[in-house]
Structure 1
Amino acid sequence: MADLQTVLEKGLADPQAGWNMGSFGAIAEFHHVKDERPAVPNDMTQVTDRGGVQIARLNGVRPVAYETLSPRPHRWSQAVSLCLPATKAAMHRRDTLTELGSDDDALRPQDRGAILFDMGLAQLQVDFCIRTADPALLEILRAHSGQSLFAAGNPAMPAILQAHPHRVALTRIGRVEVYQMIGGPDTGGTSPEGPHTHVLPKLLRAGRTHSANAPIPDGWIPCAGFHPENPVIGRLGEEKALNQAAFDAFQALLSDWGVDDYCAAKNTVWAALKAGQLPQSISEPATRTGRAGLRNGLRQWRRLHGDSKLLDQWAARFDASTLSEDVEAENPGHEG
């Protein structure tokens, strides 16, 4: 069984790995940019000029490794969610803009005098905050504390979008900080490469803690996401040739921390293909997670072993279309 701390420490030193904390609709992401060499992690912390991530707690954390279907049938996504029981994961769920005082736990010393404000998004597992020392922005935020940022006519949100304060996602496991500009008109309508955030009111209204793509066990809440290097998708979402080492490394994590019905379905279809069996030899899994395992098993077999008439028969029976309830956007808030 893989040691969680060792895996995460290795991930913090890997420029191809990514991290996030947040909820379904409010998320802070930490990524390196091309040719950026990460510093040696210190106390489970990684910081660059663009942002940072800290894993402050592993006691009681359950890692859940999973792969998800992509709308593009030749690729898939993968992640390890760091989960706590619902009763241990809960944050403050403030529903109005709230001043929290100076951020004494900021990852960089120069940020520890700046003031934290909870944005009031009322999310279960994250206090989604902004941090600023800008006097003009502080004046506006303090004048409208206790109000919803989304209330009609509230000038606080436009001021935030214009001033680009740091964003800080706080969970019971740690924090992600983003120092770059907020994606929008000042960034050409796209999120900057590297650390960035998304706050999507439409998704927030769904009231979900995580995407339906993520097979999180009942009673557990994902408080952080670790994304080891994807073997078929580049850091900017581009196509790449299969990286066998990255594939094998994640399969080991999936074996240790994966969801049983997903792994069972994938292993079943791989064994059947290896034996040359026809698709009629198995039944479609009854669960969404099992169906995803079967379909990703077929996609991965094709990337590993190439095309064949037998594989085409399996795909025709079990993976003929990606337009189903089993496929959501790969990464809500991102293109493609």
Structure 2
Amino acid sequence: MTDASQDETFALLARLFGAEGHLWSIGTLAGFMGFDLTGIPQNIGGALVLEGETGRARLTPGGKLLAFETLSSEPKGWNHGIALCQAGGLPPRPRDRHLSVVADDAALVAADQSAPALDLGLGHAGLRCLFRPAATARAQALLLAGQHWNDCREALAALPGAWIAETPFLRAERVADGTCPIHAIPSAGIRGLTHAATTPVPEGWLPFAHIFPPHPARVRPGLRRPFDPDIHTVFQSILARHGRPDLTALKAATRARLQSSLPPEVADAPGQRPDRHAQAVIRVTLRQWLAETGLAPPGAWLSRYDRPLLAAVRNQT
């Protein structure tokens, strides 16, 4: 990966933490929670603390960044994001998904320190999902200890309190609003999967959170907007510094060949096709070429790498 220092990494996170239009997902497929607070974080003891009407969060140094681009199901589209990862450690093992009573000793407000909370039994080493009931609902909530998460999710959602996702370097607390913001994919947890297979996470890295900055071609999934080159440039600079070096080099080489009207064959490694992540990078580059220039990539590239884009371009003409 890149040689970005912890200071450089944390400086970037400080700009993104609380920035408008940046969505966060905290956790892994075994347990995660969305977080979209906006505001200016405070630096308290070297940690960034963000507070809002719907919750609060604390970000500490230590995470490694992986910027990435993946394919969208929309034939002209793509996705992008930044994973906050931890390097090293044992492969994650799923927890039993049964609730247990714990003391919330990492609460972000002093008055909540050591208050009883329910560990939801989701996640794995380094990741906890909690529900800290309000004092008025504490007795009712703690009666659910020992039950399976699937059997008491709705009962917990009806109670006042705070939903919590806690990782080695990021903790978020969301005020309960009658819905449950904690999600989990049981099959992924059982298999020890932590992230989508399409995300090019380096071997030995474990993503504990994801940031999704504004996208240059859509407001949100399903709602497109005219391509915004400034938004695109911002993320490309992050990708160049914090993406996987082999994939960013492949993207640069693909763009150079497109600009020089060279054929695609030599973009492949000798004697083999690119792996799934490399193919995705080439296809994303082709889609961005169309978005940036308004010109369809040469047919030889599309027929070799991106038939959905080829069909979309043909239907457009």
Tell me which interval the TM-score lies in, with the shorter structure as reference length.
0.7 to 0.9
Find the partner of 1:296 among 258, 264, 284: 284
- 1:91 and 1:51 mapped to 2: Cα distance? 29
Find the partner of 1:54 among 46, 52, 58: 58
Percent identity over the alignment? Answer: 25
Using the TM superposition, give the Cα deviation of residue 318 of structure 1 relative to its aligned residue in structure 2, in angstroms: 0.7
- Post-superposition CA distance 1:261-297 (Å, at most 9, x none): 3223322221111001233453374211111110101
Using the TM superposition, give the Cα deviation of residue 164 of structure 1 relative to its aligned residue in structure 2, in angstroms: 5.7
Structure 2 residue 274 is the aligned partner of structure 1 residue 286: yes
Q: What residue number does 1:221 align with? A: 206
Structure 2 residue 197 is the aligned partner of structure 1 residue 212: yes
- Post-superposition CA distance 1:127-184 (Å, at most 9, x none): 0111112544x3344334234323xxx5x33311322642101111120222253547
| SS of residue in 2 equivalent to 1:321 | helix
Using the TM superposition, give the Cα deviation of residue 8 of structure 1 relative to its aligned residue in structure 2, in angstroms: 0.8
The change in CA–CA distance for 1:287 and 1:92 in structure 2 (over 3 A counts) is closer
- 2:177 and 2:88 mapped to 1: Cα distance? 32
- 1:159 and 1:288 mapped to 2: Cα distance? 42
Q: What residue number does 2:314 align with? A: none
Between 221-230 and 7-16, report the one with greater CA deviation. Answer: 221-230
Using the TM superposition, give the Cα deviation of residue 305 of structure 1 relative to its aligned residue in structure 2, in angstroms: 0.7
Find the partner of 2:174 among 178, 185, 189: 178
Q: What residue number does 1:80 align with? A: 82
| SS of residue in 1 equivalent to 2:12 | helix
The residue identity in structure 2 corresponding to 1:314 is W
- 1:265 and 1:285 mapped to 2: Cα distance? 13
Where does structure 2 lack aligned partners over 5 or more consecutive residues? 310-317
| SS of residue in 1 equivalent to 2:21 | coil
The answer to whether the 8 A contact 2:19-2:39 is kept is yes
Q: TM-score, normalised by structure 1?
A: 0.78
More strand by percentage: 2
The residue identity in structure 2 corresponding to 1:177 is E
Q: What residue number does 2:29 align with? A: 24
| SS of residue in 2 equivalent to 1:119 | strand
| SS of residue in 2 equivalent to 1:214 | coil
Where does structure 1 lack aligned partners over 5 or more consecutive residues? 185-195, 323-336
Using the TM superposition, give the Cα deviation of residue 230 of structure 1 relative to its aligned residue in structure 2, in angstroms: 2.1
Q: TM-score, normalised by structure 2?
A: 0.82
Q: What residue number does 2:305 align with? A: 318
- Post-superposition CA distance 1:75-130 (Å, at most 9, x none): 222122121124289799565312112x3533345655753211012434410111
Alignment of 1:238-257 (within 5 A): 238-257=223-242
Using the TM superposition, give the Cα deviation of residue 317 of structure 1 relative to its aligned residue in structure 2, in angstroms: 2.1
Q: What residue number does 2:165 align with? A: 169
The answer to whether the 8 A contact 1:262-1:292 is kept is no
Number of positions where the alignment pairs a residue of Structure 1 with one of Structure 2: 298
Alignment of 1:227-238 (within 5 A): 227-235=212-220, 238=223
Between 158-167 and 77-86, report the one with greater CA deviation. Answer: 158-167
- 2:178 and 2:127 mapped to 1: Cα distance? 19
| SS of residue in 2 equivalent to 1:211 | coil
The change in CA–CA distance for 1:237 and 1:247 in structure 2 (over 3 A counts) is same
